[in-house]
Amino acid sequence: MIIFKVWRPEDLPLEPMESVRYERGVQEDRTLGGVVDSWSRLSDQELLSLRLNQLGLSLEGSSVARGISQLYRELSLKGLSFRPHFWVSDEWFCPDGIPGISVPFFLLHPRLRRLEQRYIGYVEGGDWPWMMKLLRHEAGHAIENAFNMRGWPERTSTFGSTEQPYPNSYAPRPYSRRFVRHLEDHYAQSHPDEDFAETFALWLNPESQWEQRYQGWAALEKLMTMEKLMKRVQSRSQVRKNRFRQDPIEMNKQTLGQFYRDKRRKLKLTPTRDMDANLRTVFTDGGVGLLGAGAFLKKHRQEICREVAQGMGEYQYRIGDVLNRLSRRADELGLSVDPSQKLAPVLDVVAAQALEDWERKRHHIVL
C-alpha cells in the first residue's frame, strides 16, 4: 500500500508555471496498467508525494518507443548498423563512454506530461518533431562513444577538443553561421561535444536538406566532415558495446515533489522578490476595465524591445528574453494595467530587470 504525504506549500515553495510552451500533436501513450493505474488519477499534491521508483514506467508501447524505431530506421538509411540502447531516467542524457541514451520519465504517461508542463512550463520532447530532434542529438553522443571518436584527429580539428571544460551555462550568438541550428537556444555553441552531436543530428535527419540550407555557411564544412566520419564508421567495428544504464528510474528514491523543486531551482525558474517589486511599480492586482499585464507587454513588445535595446546598447533578442520572464511572472501574479498606461515607466522596469538578470548571468542558458 502506498502512503501519501500531502505536500504543503513550504515543502514545494515553487509556484507552478502556466503554459509557456504547449505540446503540439502528441499522441497520448496507452495506459501501462498495474502500478500506473494506481496513481494516474491522483491529484497533483498526491502525485508529488510519490517516489520516482514507484511509478512503474516502461518504454514499451510509448510514443518514445515509436521514436526509437524511427531513429533506428534513419540510422539504417545512412548505412549505419549502430543501435544505441535506451533506459528510463529523470532527463535526456548520454553518459560519457556509454553507447546508450536515457529518456525522461515524464514522457511516458500523459499524466506526467501534464505535471511537467505545470511545474516547468514546457515538456522537453513533448511533441514528435522535438522528440526526434532530441533522439538524433543523443544518438550523436552515443555513436561517438561507441566508436571512441573523440580521439580522431579530424573530429578534434573540426569541432574542438572534448577536453574543454564544460560550462555551467553559456551565452550564445544567435547570428553565428559557424554552427548548425537544430535544437533551441543555439545548443551547438555550448561545447565542442554538443557541436558534434548537433551536427550529427542535422546530418542524420532525412528531411534536413543540409547541403542546400547551409550553402555559404562555415557550418557546412562541419556537415561535410560528419559525412566523411560516418563513412569511416560504416567500415569499423564498434569499440564500446557495454549496456550500462546510469541512474535508472527504478533506483531513484526521490519524490516527484523533490524532483520539481530541485529542477526549478536549477533552471532558475524561481522569481526574485526584486522582480515582483519592480512589476508592482507599474501593474496592479486587478480591477474593472483593466488589461492583463502579460497581454499589455505582448501588445507593446516590439516597441519595448526596440527602445530598451537602443537605450542599453544591447541586442533586441536579449531584451526579448527578459520581457518573456517578466510577462510570465506578471501573469502568475495576476497583475493588470490600465490600457492607456504610458510606456516610459514600463521601459524602466524592463531595463532594471535586464541589468539584474545580466549581473546574475540569467541570460546564460543553463546546462
Amino acid letter, residue 145:
N
Nearest to 5 by CA among 41, 37, 48: 48
Integer Cα distance of 85 and 142 in angstroms: 9
**CA 98 to mean position of chain CA atoms:** 22
Q: What pLDDT does residue 8 have?
A: 34
- The share of the chain scoring above pLDDT 90, in percent, equals 64
Q: What pLDDT does residue 17 have?
A: 47
Integer Cα distance of 331 and 343 in angstroms: 18
> For residue 142, how many other CB atoms are within 10 A of its CB?
24
- Give the ranges where 98-218 is alpha helix by DSSP (H): 110-120, 128-146, 153-159, 192-204, 210-213
**Helix, strand, coil percent content, the chain, rounded in steps of 5:** 50, 5, 45
Nearest to 135 by CA among 98, 178, 83, 175: 83
44-81 burial: b if 16+ Cβ within 10 Å, else e: bebbbbbbbebbbbebeebbbbebbebbbebbeeeebe
All 3 cell numbers of residue 253? 528514491
Amino acid letter, residue 266:
K
Q: What pLDDT does residue 26 have?
A: 36
Integer Cα distance of 339 and 337 in angstroms: 6
Mean pLDDT per segment of 10 residues, for the chain of length 367 residues? 35 43 37 66 92 94 95 97 97 96 97 91 92 98 96 94 84 87 89 96 96 96 97 94 95 96 82 82 87 93 92 84 89 91 92 79 52
Integer Cα distance of 203 and 214 in angstroms: 11
Strands 365-366 and 169-170: antiparallel
Q: What pLDDT does residue 311 have?
A: 84
Q: What pLDDT does residue 6 have?
A: 35
pLDDT in tens, 57-104: 999 999 999 999 999 999 999 999 999 999 999 999 999 999 999 999
Sign of CA dihedral 353, 354, 357, 358: negative
Please report, in angstroms and rounded to a whole number, the separation of the first and last CA atoms in the chain. Answer: 38
CB neighbour list of residue 93: distance below 8 Å, 6 or more residues apart: 101, 102, 138, 246
Q: 124 — phi, psi (to 5°)?
A: -65, 115
Nearest to 9 by CA among 39, 44, 54, 51: 44
**Facing residues of 102 across strands?**
87, 93
Q: What pLDDT does residue 13 have?
A: 40
Alpha-carbon distances, residue 240 vs 15, 110, 138 (angstroms): 44, 35, 16
